[in-house]
Amino acid sequence: MQTRELNGQDAEAYYELRLEALLTNPDSFITTYEQEKQRPNPLKTIAERLDSNISRTFGLFSEEKLCGIVTLMKQTHPKFSHKGDVLAMYISPSSRRKGGAVQLLDELIRSARAFGLEQLRLSVVTENTPAKQLYQKVGFQSYGIERKAIKLPERYLDEDHMVLFLET
């Protein structure tokens, strides 16, 4: 498997994988499949986002097919400019437990260091044990739990907030 930064030309593959993610693991994302499908001009919006200077999205490829994604969002306020957020991590079920997720996060961490970031933050649904273990494996540590962070029609989900301090 290989990783690389995605760009606007990857918008269609990204969108297809994003829809898969929302169907496969709906509790892991704030956006729902229905909301994503209703967005006007999604490919144009995604292409612009993939080409932006504020965020970087990385893809994991198996035999040239996009099978994993993760986004690094740099904080823009000067007092927070040393921080970045890890967003929208997803690996297709057929590509899980093959080392690609660690490879993808390692690429994101290298990029964060190149940007001069000092810490990375993320939130993960507390019940998502495999994701929490993955993040811990690459060095993230929990610094708190937000109770009832996500409200679903029939229940609430708690989120673990995690941080990785990067060596400077």
Residues 6-57: tens digit of each pLDDT: 999 999 999 999 999 999 999 889 999 999 999 989 999 999 999 988 899 9
- The pLDDT confidence band at residue 116, using thresholds 50, 70 and 90, is very high
User: CA–CA distance from 25 to each of 101, 131, 164 (Å)?
Assistant: 16, 12, 24
Tokens 């679903």 belong to residue: 152
pTM recorded for the entire structure:
0.91
State the pLDDT confidence band at 109, using cuts at 50, 70 and 90: very high
Identify whether the C-beta of residue 58 lies closer than 8 Å to the C-beta of residue 4: yes
Check residues 52 and 149 and name the one with the higher pLDDT: 149
pLDDT tens readout for residues 58-71 = 999 998 999 999 99
Both tokens assigned to 77: 């306020």
What phi and psi, each to the nearest 5 degrees, are found at residue 155? -170, 175
pLDDT more than 70, % of the chain: 99
Written as six digits, the tokens of 142 are 């929990």
pLDDT value at 168 more than 80: no
Domain ranges of the chain: 2-165
The pLDDT mean for the chain works out to 94
Question: From CA 46, how far away is CA 29, in angstroms rounded?
Answer: 17
Residue 157: which of 123, 121, 127, 122 has the closest Cα? 127
What secondary structure does DSSP assign to the chain, as a single string?
A: -EEEE--GGGHHHHHHHHHHHHHH-GGG-SS-HHHHHHSSSHHHHHHHHHT-SSEEEEEEEETTEEEEEEEEEE--SGGGTTEEEEEEEEE-GGGTTSSHHHHHHHHHHHHHHHTT--EEEEEEETT-HHHHHHHHHTT-EEEEEEEEEEE-SS-EEEEEEEEEEPP-
Q: Which class in CATH covers the domain with range 2-165?
A: alpha beta
Residue 66's pLDDT is 97
Q: What is the pLDDT of residue 54?
A: 83
pLDDT for res 16: 96
